[in-house]
């Protein structure tokens, strides 16, 4: 539990630091190759024990098209986004479940990876939903819930996604639950020219060696039967 709390605290600190960098114009994304399963599993692991203590079901659903697939994006920032969304879902859900879903979708013939975090929590009133992506904007607290929330997570998440070429949206019904969705362009690792040349050279060398070996075997067989 203590380790999980420290992960969430570090995510908040990273949000604040990144927000400062954005304001100063020194912010940059860190692109890398990673598996979608790894990203989702690391986030789910942070909340697994907490959900058990709160008697909430935590479900993870990754599309088969993406399972085990290596994509290219900013792993650290995507993890921060999911941690922010999961943290909100956990705080405002007291019975039922929280579900992380990931699937591949196409919009105007362009492929995207669509993430969603859905909960069966208290939901958000319609008049409060427009405040969520404003800096320090928060829904009106209900019965003293989360009085110390700072209203940064969703704002920073939106800015991350804008840099990555994605979008974020909220769908909520008060008293029923909330689903937050965001997408990123679907990018897979493309071999560099140097990698392609190296691969070609290895295949060519293998073909030459195979041909040389075949000639030796043929020569041996001819000499044996002659």
Number of domains in the chain: 2
Give the residue numbers spanning the domain of 212. Answer: 191-226
Which helix (H) or strand (E) element contains residue 128?
helix 126-129
Q: Specify whether 87 is located in the same domain as 108.
A: yes
Tokens of 6: 């420290």
Q: Specify whether 175 is located in the same domain as 200.
A: no
Q: What is the pLDDT of residue 153?
A: 84
Q: Specify whether 131 is located in the same domain as 219.
A: no
Q: Specify whether 132 is located in the same domain as 205.
A: no
The closest alpha carbon to 40, from 64, 74, 75, 6, belongs to: 75
Q: What is the pLDDT of residue 195?
A: 52
Q: Specify whether 34 is located in the same domain as 121.
A: yes
Q: Specify whether 43 is located in the same domain as 28.
A: yes
Return the CATH number at 81.
3.30.565.10
Residue 83: burial class (beta carbons within 10 Å; 0-12, 13-18, 19+): buried
Q: Specify whether 154 is located in the same domain as 215.
A: no
pLDDT averaged per 10 residues in sequence order, the chain, 226 residues: 66 81 86 95 95 97 92 95 95 97 94 97 90 66 50 87 95 96 88 56 64 55 50
pTM, rounded to two decimals? 0.76
Q: What is the pLDDT of residue 147?
A: 44
Q: What is the pLDDT of residue 141?
A: 54
Q: What is the pLDDT of residue 148?
A: 45
| Strand-pair partners of 177 | 173
Q: Specify whether 217 is located in the same domain as 155.
A: no
Q: What is the pLDDT of residue 217?
A: 47
Q: Residues 181, 115: contact at Cβ < 8 Å?
A: yes
Q: What is the pLDDT of residue 208?
A: 56
Task: Round to whole Å and give the CA distance between 69 and 74.
Answer: 15
Burial 96-130 (b: 16+ CB within 10 A, else e): ebbbbbbbbeeeeeeebbbbbbbbbbbbbeeeebe
Q: Specify whether 179 is located in the same domain as 90.
A: yes
Residue position matching structure tokens 């044996």: 224
């Amino acid at each position: 539990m203590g380790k999980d709390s420290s992960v969430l605290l570090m995510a908040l600190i990273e949000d604040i630091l990144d927000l400062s960098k954005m304001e100063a114009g020194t912010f940059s994304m860190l692109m890398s190759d990673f598996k979608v399963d790894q990203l989702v599993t690391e986030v789910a692991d942070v909340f697994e024990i907490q959900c058990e203590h709160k008697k909430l079901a935590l479900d993870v659903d990754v599309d088969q098209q993406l399972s085990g697939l290596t994509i290219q994006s900013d792993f650290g920032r995507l993890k921060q986004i999911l941690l922010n969304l999961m943290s909100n879902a956990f705080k405002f859900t007291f019975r039922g479940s929280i579900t992380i879903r990931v699937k591949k979708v196409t919009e105007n013939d362009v492929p995207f990876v669509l993430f969603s975090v859905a909960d069966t929590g208290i939901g958000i009133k319609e008049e409060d939903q427009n405040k969520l992506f404003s800096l320090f904007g928060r829904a009106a607290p209900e019965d003293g819930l989360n009085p110390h929330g700072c209203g940064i997570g969703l704002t920073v998440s939106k800015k991350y996604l804008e840099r990555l070429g994605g979008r974020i949206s909220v769908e909520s019904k008060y008293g029923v639950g909330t689903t937050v969705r965001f997408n990123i362009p679907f990018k897979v690792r493309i071999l560099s020219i140097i990698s392609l040349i190296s691969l070609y050279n290895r295949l060519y060398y293998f073909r030459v060696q195979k041909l040389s070996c075949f000639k030796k075997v043929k020569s041996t067989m001819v000499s044996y039967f002659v």
